[in-house]
């Protein structure tokens, strides 16, 4: 492992940069006093594009860029997690522990859904309840098997209806891209990943994404994406159609949570401007 030593180390092409906070905010400029444009979660590798006074401009795996504090990252000489046995957090939130016991110490970390970890050991003396993982900084930790999956294949569109409802009630967070809090496009992008799709990060680019076909409101099917705007040329919101006139989305309308709404609700009916079906 290598510490963050300065510009020469930062620009080395031999280093990889990995997020070491459960959720790292990405800002429009190198300051906490500006808007959050997105987030990146624990264990993700990012590309460092620029450095300025303790801040770095990074590019995430979905090709999104923004500024984060350099303390949110660690420089390592090998990709994390390494190819091989990897687990992904499947629970909405998962605790990591210093030992195989939930009562003796507080959790080391609490990670959001989709965080990926490198397996170190799978002991059999505990009924296979625990999995030992290696963290990016070299520390060891334990996670309960019930909190993770071992790389399930992309989900069928039909299964996403029930899956999406797991997130009901999570807080709306501007720029949010984790189960600690999603914004509208962060939520639909996550559902797309679950299906194996590489959706753009923001709602406008999602609406014009060439991986989806335009459909009429009268032809909607479960799994279609809905886009809202006023005026129509300015997309400002998106949701995931469940069928039966209902859609699920992260919104601040009436209550700031992931919730289910109806497309015939006057508020949403007046704003719905585009429907898309992933190919």
The yes-or-no answer to whether 7-76 and 86-149 have a common fold is yes
101-110 confidence digits (pLDDT tens): 999 999 999 9
**Where in the chain are the domains?**
7-76, 86-149, 157-278
125-158 confidence digits (pLDDT tens): 777 899 999 999 999 999 999 999 997 788 888 8
Is the pLDDT score of 13 beyond 60?
no
CATH classification (class only), 86-149: mainly beta
Structure tokens, 29: 């400029």
- How much is the average pLDDT of 237-255? 97
16-66 confidence digits (pLDDT tens): 899 999 999 999 999 999 999 999 999 999 999 999 999 999 999 999 999
Tell which CATH architecture fits domain 157-278: Alpha-Beta Complex (3.90)
Higher-confidence position of 11 and 149: 149
- How much is the average pLDDT of 245-250? 98
Give the CATH fold of the 7-76 domain: SH3 type barrels. (2.30.30)
């Amino acid at each position: 492992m290598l510490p963050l030593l300065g510009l020469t180390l930062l620009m080395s092409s031999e280093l990889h940069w990995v997020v070491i906070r459960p959720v790292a905010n990405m800002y429009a400029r190198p300051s906490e006093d500006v808007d959050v444009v997105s987030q990146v979660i624990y264990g993700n590798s990012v590309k460092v594009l620029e450095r300025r006074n303790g801040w770095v401009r990074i590019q995430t795996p979905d090709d999104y860029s923004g500024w984060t504090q350099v303390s949110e990252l660690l420089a390592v000489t090998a990709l994390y997690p390494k190819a091989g046995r990897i687990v992904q957090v499947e629970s909405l939130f998962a605790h990591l522990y210093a030992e195989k016991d939930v009562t003796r110490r507080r959790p080391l970390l609490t990670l959001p859904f989709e965080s990926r970890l490198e397996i170190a050991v799978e002991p059999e003396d505990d009924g296979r309840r625990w999995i030992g993982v290696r963290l990016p900084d070299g520390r060891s930790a334990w996670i309960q098997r019930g909190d993770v999956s071992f790389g399930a294949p992309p989900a069928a569109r039909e299964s996403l209806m029930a899956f999406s409802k797991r997130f009901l009630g999570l807080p709306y967070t501007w720029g949010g891209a984790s189960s600690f809090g999603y914004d509208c496009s962060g939520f639909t992008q996550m559902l797309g990943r679950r299906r194996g799709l590489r959706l753009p990060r923001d709602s406008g680019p999602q609406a014009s994404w060439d991986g989806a076909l335009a459909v009429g409101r009268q032809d909607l099917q479960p799994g279609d994406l809905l886009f809202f705007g006023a005026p129509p040329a300015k997309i400002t919101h998106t949701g995931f159609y469940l069928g039966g006139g209902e859609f699920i989305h992260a919104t601040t309308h009436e209550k700031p949570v992931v919730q289910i709404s109806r497309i015939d609700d006057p508020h949403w009916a007046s704003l719905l401007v585009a429907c898309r079906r992933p190919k």
